[in-house]
Structure 1
Amino acid sequence: MSSKSSNKYIFIGLIVFIGLGVASLIWFGSSLSMTSSSNASSTPKNSPVSYASLPASPILLDTSNLSPKIDASPASKYRSGVYTAAMEYKVPDREINKITVKVTLENDVIKDLSNEYVGIGSQSIQYKNSFESMIKNETIGKKIDQLNLANVGGASLTTPAFNQAIGQIINQAK
């Protein structure tokens, strides 16, 4: 074998060797850079930290869920409880009727309501029944100090007496 042909084979072998080296460096170099970042957390606790490797821009954290929730609703104006008030009122046939209103109050809102009647004459029965059929829809779930009812169920005399009883209950609950 001549020295020229042997040099040629050496040269080709060297090129292949360098090519394989570059290819392996590219291949293994990229996987090394990926594993080196995952191994960063395994540095010893007492080893110094290089702040130069930290990002220059600030890191923003969402802390909206960390702040305490404060209920901005005002405290109740009135004490919760069960209150009763009675009012008498005259009807056209010169009778005196009496309505006793019982309210369950919770956080200024009427939770339950019941009425009792005394002295109801035959003429007033239809107005009382009409009033009773509608009064709960007008009051339950509403703030007590926002009630201002007018002729509930057509009961033009019972409704003002009811409103006055509610006024007494408001005073009791203060």
Structure 2
Amino acid sequence: MIRSVLCSLRDFSTLPPLLQAAWLAFAIGLCMALLHLWVFNVVDYGLEGANVESLSGKVLYADRGGMLIEDADSGEYTRLKVVRGITYLRSGHDPLRGQTLHFTYLRDVVLSCTLDGEELCIAQCANAVECLDSRREREAPQGMWVVAFGTSLVCLGLHALRRRKSASGSGIF
């Protein structure tokens, strides 16, 4: 897609292949940099301003993505999500079914869960700000934009070297 947009630019298809690669890498790097900025500045994952809450209840259903909990006091059902980077689930989800656990959570994301004092879910962060930072780091394109810009610079450098060699070889003698 990016290459077709660049090909539609005036005279792009007439550029040497290394310059085309440099422009393509630059465009990819620019897209990744914009995505990186968007993830770090706009996306809040629903954690902004959340407070840590606690709940004790029976696990009715559990899978890799979350659990359905029946509150021990009120009998209400609560769906809690297990999110990588925020919670580490130490045991599989099957042994949790039917157990009464004590949970700490942010909005609908599990931080930790314990069964008789034994931690089954381990919190990877302590509050909304830490969890938000952790989640943003996991979702951001780690270094992709640096690689793309680096590729662009290497292609430009190779193109300049190639032109310099061909210019020095075309002398009179």
Scaled by the length of structure 2, what TM-score is found? 0.17
The structure whose residues are more often helix, as a share, is 1
The structure whose residues are more often strand, as a share, is 2
**Higher relative contact order structure (alpha carbons within 8 Å, sequence separation ≥ 6):** 2
Scaled by the length of structure 1, what TM-score is found? 0.17
**Over alpha carbons, which structure has the higher Rg?**
1
